[in-house]
């Protein structure tokens, strides 16, 4: 029963997402695909996956233990804090902390998590900002 509820919620979110995508105004200078294409593709994939869950639910789903649910909630909180802190402390610092925490919770050691956070943050910064020229959130140190 819980799978069908989850699938129905996912289907409602997909429908809402599609309606929101249809409300995007197109500029006269848009490309052939337009700005609505990617959100509509995401809505379609979410909708199809939700329908599959509704039609073929798991016979006996195994819910995570309370400890695992707490870890999932903590990861969600870290991602929300990451989004909130990006404009405040900048991309590099926020990404270091978020990536280090998440890899630590996935089982890496403390040193490995810090190195992964550093490598992820600087790697993405180099590729997206320096190579591709995309702007990323600047922190108090200008990067």
Measured in whole angstroms, the distance separating CA 99 from the mean position of its chain's CA atoms is 13
Does this model's pTM top 0.95? My answer is: no
Domain extents in the chain:
1-63, 64-142
Cα–Cα distance, 64 to 44 (Å, whole number): 28
For 69-120, the pLDDT digits (tens) are: 999 999 999 999 999 999 999 999 999 999 999 999 999 999 999 999 999 9
Q: How long is the chain?
A: 143
Helical packing angle, 66-89 and 91-105, nearest 10°: 170
Q: Using the predicted structure, report yes or no on whether residue 31 has a pLDDT greater than 70.
A: no
Answer yes or no: are the C-beta atoms of 125 and 143 closer than 8 Å: yes
């Amino acid at each position: 029963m819980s799978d069908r509820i989850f699938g129905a919620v996912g289907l409602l979110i997909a429908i809402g997402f599609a309606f929101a995508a249809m409300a995007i105004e197109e500029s006269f200078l848009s490309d052939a695909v337009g700005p609505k294409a990617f959100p509509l593709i995401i809505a379609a994939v979410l909708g199809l996956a939700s329908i599959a869950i509704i039609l073929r639910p798991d016979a006996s789903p195994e819910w995570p233990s309370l400890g695992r649910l707490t870890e999932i909630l903590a990861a969600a909180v870290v991602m929300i804090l990451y989004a909130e802190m990006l404009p405040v402390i900048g991309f590099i610092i926020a990404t270091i902390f978020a990536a280090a925490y998440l890899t630590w919770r996935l089982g890496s050691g403390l040193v490995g998590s810090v190195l992964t956070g550093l490598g992820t943050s600087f790697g993405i910064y180099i590729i997206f900002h320096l190579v591709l020229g995309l702007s990323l959130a600047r922190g108090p140190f200008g990067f």
